[in-house]
Amino acid sequence: MVAQLEQSTSPMSVRETGLETGFLADLALKTLYFGGNISGAEVCDRLALPISVVSEVLDFLRKQRLSEVTGGVGMSAATLMYTLSEAGMERATSALAMSGYVGPAPVPLQAYFDQVGQQSVHCMELRRQDIEGSLSELVLTQHTVDLIGLAISSKRPTLLHGASGNGKSTAAEGLRHGLPS
């Protein structure tokens, strides 16, 4: 049976990110500090989070009087323009003193480990017919196909070695397509 990878879904709320509201608030403050007067959509892009999460964070910042809405072309959080208040500038400066990181929101370490584990070849069942099929466009001896199959089936790192132009990259690409998805 082939192990199926779970579909990764974006978090729909701050809670689903697995991160603290305060951490995301500080990250958003630092983003606004460097971004100036930017839209909610731009904050989403910079934090790599969906609008449902970012709007929660921006609402929190507004309620704490750390950010202000300066305009926009609609009523959605994505189309509104945001800037820091004076208190927000102070808090952003403080947050930057603690950590200069500004960019996409990280994932919790355990979530990262879980995702890497799901993508591991150790969870996949590799069948002979899939390996042979993935190499079928190459002219290889059965012995070579068997050796590649043994190497791939070992679920350990594999090195394809040989002279330039003998099909190593083509074989590796074919093998990638032969893995279960």
% pLDDT > 70, the chain? 95
Q: Which pLDDT score, from 0 to 100, does residue 1 have?
A: 28
Give tens-digit pLDDT for 159-168: 888 899 888 8
Q: What value does the mean pLDDT take over residues 35-42?
A: 96
**CA–CA gap between residue 75 and residue 12 (Å, rounded):** 19
Task: Write the pLDDT tens digit of every residue in 51-105.
Answer: 999 999 999 999 999 999 999 988 889 999 999 999 999 999 999 999 999 999 9
Note the pTM of the prediction, 2 decimals.
Answer: 0.68
Give the start-to-end residue ranges of the domains of the chain.
14-107, 121-178
Confidence of residue 142 (pLDDT cuts 50, 70, 90): very high
Residue 169 has pLDDT above 50, yes or no: yes
**C-alpha span between 176 and 170 (Å, rounded):** 10
pLDDT at 114: 86
What b/e sequence results for 65-86 when a residue is b if at least 16 CB atoms lie within 10 Å of its CB, and e otherwise?
ebbbeeeeeeeebbebbbbbbe
Does CATH number 1.10.10.10 belong to domain 14-107? yes
Cα–Cα distance, 93 to 32 (Å, whole number): 11
Composition of the chain by helix, strand, coil, percent to 5? 55, 5, 40
Q: Which two tokens stand for residue 138?
A: 């190459």
The pLDDT assigned to 104 comes to: 97
pLDDT of 8 strictly over 60:
no
